Structure 1
């Protein structure tokens, strides 16, 4: 192998190696987001028709669901932090591959940063709820109801991740910055996530947003591996 060929192989391998870190963060964010959504769906006390309108009964049911609440908390907290790393890596990748001055890297990263903030805020009442439920005489039942509704709604607002997906789709299908298959996946999942976010069914975005993050991160890692070979 010639010296120039070795140099080119090394140059290709370095970006691919660097990509492992932030794409791994994206995989972690996607998995953690899915776990958080599933756990949130298991906190059913405030949605049980049999005890609807009865704050005391709801607080008692929530006491039995504290483990699920903690799983939700850790899922969304991990997703929030990992999304920041993934957003930075995605922005750098798109900046390197798109023409100078393109807004797509900023839009892609910005949507994920907003989603990170949403996830973090979604966990904001967990401490009050979990510890308050362990000492029921210290918590007003009506607050437990409000906090449970907060956990069941706020962290599901992944609409901004849909905007990130659409930015990746544009970078792929118009500029060839990432694989075309990922562009089409981003059109479908990103479009659904954004549309859900704009509708009265905005919480449905929590089902599709984390899945797109997971697929996108895996896709970018795999494409990076292929380029390094």
Structure 2
């Protein structure tokens, strides 16, 4: 009778489970970063309200916006997926940092907190997409002035990724001062985090939408290969 096999099998199960759990939150980070990039690019393609040739004409803007409903759907999907995936990535990142830093460090909570805020921003940013997608299907369904407001909402709120910059800076400190993560990731996080925070607190705050998702993607991929 081989009595070691059941023991070995039993001990392998939790280890395999931990491996899958670790890969899962990193995969969520990759998805969040990619979805955020897609959402930003799609949002940038919803140009009706920024077209100078029809500026100040709500009816013309609404009609042009109706032709861009596909971009709105893509934007909605990208930011909604990013919002949900960020929650998982934030939890995993916090757990990883807590396991590698000294007890009582605030860095795990700061890193997760910035991503939680960003998740909420992304979700709120999709709040008017349903109204626009269906309301613009027929001219009589939506007041043109509301379409203008909705278009500005889509082009501003989901771009507020400044809090992700704070998460990046927390990761940078954890790496460069705490030695918890690879130093290359620390320096990358320091640069992208600083840029994201600085533009996020400036009147050009929406530019944070360009760098925030990229940092999430780089961080997730970097940790994946560093595990």
TM-score in same-fold range (> 0.5): yes
Structure 1 distance, partners of 2:24, 2:101, is 21
Is the aligned partner of 1:199 residue 2:205?
no
**Which residue matches 1:81?**
84
The within-5 A match list for 1:126-141 is 126-141=129-144
Structure 1 distance, partners of 2:19, 2:225, is 10
Is the aligned partner of 1:162 residue 2:177?
no
> If the length of structure 2 is used for normalisation, what is the TM-score?
0.92
Unmatched 5+ stretches in structure 2? 1-7
**What secondary structure, in the 3-state scheme, does the structure 1 residue paired with 2:54 have?**
coil
The within-5 A match list for 1:75-154 is 75-154=78-157
1:17 Cα offset (Å): 3.9
Moved more, 85-94 or 131-140: 131-140
Moved more, 16-25 or 136-145: 16-25
Kindly tell me the number of residue pairs found equivalent between the two proteins: 217
Is the aligned partner of 1:219 residue 2:226?
no
1:12 Cα offset (Å): 8.1
> If the length of structure 1 is used for normalisation, what is the TM-score?
0.92
Structure 1 runs (4+) deviating above 3 angstroms are: 10-17
1:16 Cα offset (Å): 4.4
1:136 Cα offset (Å): 1.6
1:19 Cα offset (Å): 1.4
Structure 1 distance, partners of 2:39, 2:218, is 17
Is the aligned partner of 1:62 residue 2:65?
yes
**Which residue matches 1:37?**
40
